[in-house]
Amino acid sequence: MIKKITIAAAMFCLTLATQAQKFAYVDMEYILSKMPTYTEAQKQLDKVAEGWQKEVESKMKNVDEMYKQFQAEQVLMTEPMKQQKIKEIEAKEKEVKEFQKGKFGPSGELFKKRQEFIKPIQDKVYNEIQKYAVAKALDFIFDRSSGPTMLYASEKFNKSDDILSALGISLKPAGQ
């Protein structure tokens, strides 16, 4: 009885060993960098962020000017006037920081704009990767660009160009 169980277990292990898992990898940064829609969306995001950054800098410059003016005039002020002016400067500085957080914070407008512009493009790529995996009967597809989790990868498993082709993006240099 034990001999039959041992033989059955060994055969089961051999069956599992012969069913090798198939895998590939892609480089999302590479794929996205080749997509004109992504590069255009990224340019739009950069432009929006630059505008907001200039606004933050302008507001901070105003706070700095208020502080410099306070320093120059404080010798002529009474203590209650000084305290009032300090409160005004601190309130203005807090206002600028709140504005900055509202634009650039983790749930700020820039994050929302990124979701609006970039997420549909990423979803399109992820859907194409999923279709590719099913069509090629792959068990795993790794993203090489997402960090140092892949220590080595042979180029023969890199399927980034296949995904770009499936997305209709030509890999030929312009003019050829």
Assess if residue 58 is contained within a domain.
Answer: yes
pLDDT tens per residue across span 19-41: 567 788 888 888 999 999 999 99
pLDDT at residue 10, rounded to an integer:
47
Assess if residue 1 is contained within a domain.
Answer: no
Which are the contacts of 174, defined by CB distance < 8 A and separation ≥ 6?
none
- Identify the burial level of 19 via C-beta atoms within 10 angstroms of its C-beta, where 0-12 means exposed, 13-18 middle and 19 or more buried: exposed
Beta-sheet strands, E only, within 8-157: 23-26, 140-143
pLDDT tens per residue across span 63-114: 999 999 999 998 888 999 999 999 999 999 999 999 999 999 988 999 999 9
From CA 144, how far away is CA 124, in angstroms rounded? 18
Assess if residue 153 is contained within a domain.
Answer: yes
Domain that holds residue 159: 23-166
Assess if residue 30 is contained within a domain.
Answer: yes
pLDDT at residue 57, rounded to an integer:
96
pLDDT at residue 148, rounded to an integer:
53
Assess if residue 5 is contained within a domain.
Answer: no
Confidence of residue 14 (pLDDT cuts 50, 70, 90): very low
8 A C-beta contact, residue 138 and residue 22: yes
| Torsion (CA) 162, 164, 165, 170 in degrees, nearest 10 | -130
How many domains are there within the chain? 1
Assess if residue 120 is contained within a domain.
Answer: yes
Assess if residue 4 is contained within a domain.
Answer: no
Q: What's the pTM?
A: 0.66
Assess if residue 69 is contained within a domain.
Answer: yes
Tokens 């898992």 -> residue: 21
